[in-house]
Structure 1
């Protein structure tokens, strides 16, 4: 398996542990709809949270969260709409980004950006 895939899976495991430690219930992991994959789907306070996890080993090309571009946001929104429909969820929903940045010593910083974006309908 490619190293970047290993890093991504490691980041998703860290993000899942972070959410659980903060009272979120994990509903699904790596949920796929069409061409979109939602890394983590969680639930807290009657709100479904669609979390995109970005893990990087450096920020010379930008912060990890900078890689959730408008195209990715639209794909996530389409998948989220389908998930909400399938679950018949009547409450709130939001999109979070969990950014994990490793340094040279294999230490990481985690940034949980709540309500990071709401894709516009285009």
Structure 2
């Protein structure tokens, strides 16, 4: 396993622990449909939350730069596919969680991606 893959797994593990500590219920990790993948899917009350996790060794100055148009579009499509596949009738939210620096600090951006982005 490469160093970057190992760092990514550590970041996702930390995010899952963080979300559970906040009371979120984690439903899926690394859910795949066709060529799309969602890092973490959880619920926050009655809302399904699709979480994109970005882990970096260095602190990130502009987290918005981590999600280009194509990544946002793919995440929106993957979230819609998840709702369809699971036959859920719930509100959906798209969050970005950045894990960075030597201490793997977490920055959580709720509603980072809007449906009509």
2:106 alignment partner, one of 106, 110, 115 = 110
1:100-119 CA distance string (max 9 Å, x none): 111xxx31321111111124
What is the alpha-carbon distance in structure 1 between the residues aligned to residue 24 and residue 56 of structure 2? 24
Q: CA RMSD in A?
A: 1.7
- Structure 1 residue runs of 5 or longer lacking an equivalent are none
Cα distance, 1:59 vs structure 2: 4.1
Task: With the length of structure 1 as denominator, give the TM-score of the two structures.
Answer: 0.88
Q: Paired residue for 1:76?
A: 75
Post-superposition, which runs of at least 4 consecutive aligned residues in structure 1 deviate over 2 A? Answer: 62-66
Q: Paired residue for 1:24?
A: 24
Task: With the length of structure 2 as denominator, give the TM-score of the two structures.
Answer: 0.91
What is the alpha-carbon distance in structure 1 between the residues aligned to residue 34 and residue 71 of structure 2? 12
Q: Is the 8 A contact 2:46 2:90 kept in 1?
A: yes
What is the alpha-carbon distance in structure 1 between the residues aligned to residue 96 and residue 78 of structure 2? 16
Task: State the secondary structure of the residue aligned to 1:111.
Answer: strand
Task: State the secondary structure of the residue aligned to 1:120.
Answer: coil
